[in-house]
Amino acid sequence: MTTAPRTDTLYIQSLAKGMRVLECFADHPSPLSLNDIATFCDMDRSAAQRMAYTLVSLGYLERGVNGRGFVLGKKILERTFDYLRSVPLLERATPLIVDVQKESGERVELSLFDDLTIIFALRRQTKRQTYTTTLIGRRLATIHTASGRAVMSHLPAEAVDDIIARSTATPLTSRTVTDPARIRELVAQAGSDGYALASEESMLGEINLASAVLDHEGKPIAAIDISGSLADWTAEEFAKRFSPMLIGATRALSGKPGLS
């Protein structure tokens, strides 16, 4: 996790190092030793020890089972709670997401647009979902998802080209579309249809249908998606069945002031 040094005077290097310690658990969810933290965060063992000690004292890290290694602390959940309750969009979207999930019987999610990625903030699952597909906070590449392409369909062409040019994400499956020209075609199709469709691009055997949520200035800030199984639907049947419901939901949520 080597990071180039910053030269701007307002940037606090020590604070950034502490955040890097927390972020290294994204790729290494098991307990980490001081040597692990030092290696993953590109710092010496003494610095890793001071950072870990401070974060344990504050509750953002905890000792692992039998005191071995370090794991993320429960206080992280408090900050997640603080974020979720601070975003008006999520409060307004929650009852709508619940209703769409009940009506469709499929997994329904809201993801926030964050430049090169989308991040799941609300998820309503069905009983057949795996554990990781129920968790908020997961990021996926904007260009590789139906939600991301639905968002991109409301951006100027130069912004779409910029996102594609800067994206370096690894495809999630063998079916993930990576060709820039084809991605542009899918974005244009989403703009025409009012929704984006992806088949087996995030998970094999899964269909994703997404439509963008716009703020009061018409800028895309999020997307709602409905996900189903190819064992139950063809992609065409899924889109025909659920696209009116999905577009109705995003239109009901879009255009309101104070969403972001």
Confidence of residue 129 (pLDDT cuts 50, 70, 90): low
Q: Which residues contact 62 (CB under 8 A, 6 or more apart)?
A: 56, 70, 71, 72, 73, 74
β-strand partners of 113: 118
Q: How many CA atoms lie within 13 A of 148 on its CB side?
A: 26
Q: Residue 4 has what pLDDT?
A: 54
Q: Are 149 and 198 in contact (CB under 8 A)?
A: yes
The domain 13-78: what is its CATH number? 1.10.10.10
H/E element holding 181?
helix 180-193
Rounded to a whole number of angstroms, the CA Rg of the chain reads 20
Whether the pLDDT of residue 3 is over 60: the answer is no
Q: Residue 28 has what pLDDT?
A: 87
- Tell me what the mean pLDDT of segment 13-19 comes to: 92
Measured between its terminal Cα atoms, the distance across the chain in Å is 31
CA distance readout (Å), 114 to 56, 60, 118, 140, 189: 30, 24, 6, 10, 22
Q: Are 99 and 246 in contact (CB under 8 A)?
A: no
Helix (H, G, I), strand (E, B) or coil at 11: coil
SS3 for 197-218 is EEECCCCCCEEEEEEEEECCCC
- Tell me what the mean pLDDT of segment 5-26 comes to: 88
Confidence of residue 130 (pLDDT cuts 50, 70, 90): confident
pTM of the model: 0.90
Average pLDDT taken over every residue of the chain: 93
Domain boundaries, the chain: 13-78, 87-253
* Matching fold, domains 13-78 and 87-253: no
Distance CA 227, CA 209 (A): 6
Q: Are 169 and 196 in contact (CB under 8 A)?
A: no
* Secondary-structure class of domain 87-253 per CATH: alpha beta
